Amino acid sequence: MTVKVAPSLLSADFGNLREEVKRVEEHGADWIHFDVMDGSFVPAITVGPVVAAWLRPHTNLFMDAHLMISEPENQVELFAKAGIDLITVQTEAAVHLDRLLRKIKSTNVMAGVALNPATPATALEYVWPLLDLVLVMSVNPGVGGQAFIPEMLPKISYCAEQIKSRKLKTELQVDGGVNRETAPAIVKAGATVLVAGSAIFAAPDGMALINELKRL
Ligand code: DX5
Ligand code: ZN
Q: Could you read off the pLDDT of 114-166 as tens digits, one per residue?
A: 999 999 999 999 999 999 999 999 999 999 999 999 999 999 999 999 999 99
User: pLDDT by residue (tens digit) across 16-74?
Assistant: 999 999 999 999 999 999 999 999 999 999 999 999 999 999 999 999 999 999 999 99
Q: Ligand 1 pocket: which of 148, 175, 200, 201 to mutate (most atoms <8 Å of CB)? A: 175
pLDDT class of 96 with cuts at 50, 70, 90? very high
Residue 39: predicted pLDDT: 98
Q: Distance between CA 27 and CA 45 in Å, rounded? A: 28
Question: Crossing angle of helices 206-214/17-26, nearest 10°?
Answer: 40
User: pLDDT by residue (tens digit) across 171-209?
Assistant: 999 999 999 999 999 999 999 999 999 999 999 999 999
CA of 173 to the centre of ligand 2 (A): 10
Of 148, 151, 122, 134, the C-alpha closest to 90 is 134
Residue 1: predicted pLDDT: 72
Assess whether 132 carries a catalytic annotation: no
pLDDT class of 103 with cuts at 50, 70, 90? very high
Distances, alpha carbon 98 to alpha carbons 43, 113, 125, 187, in Å: 26, 11, 11, 28
Q: Distance between CA 38 and CA 83 in Å, rounded? A: 20
Residue 151: predicted pLDDT: 98
- Say how many C-beta atoms besides its own lie within 10 A of residue 126's C-beta: 10
Residue 137: in which H helix or E strand, if any? strand 133-137
CA of 138 to the centre of ligand 1 (A): 9
Q: Distance between CA 83 and CA 20 in Å, rounded? A: 18
* CA 50 to centroid of chain Cα atoms: 19
Indicate the pTM of the whole model: 0.98
pLDDT class of 84 with cuts at 50, 70, 90? very high
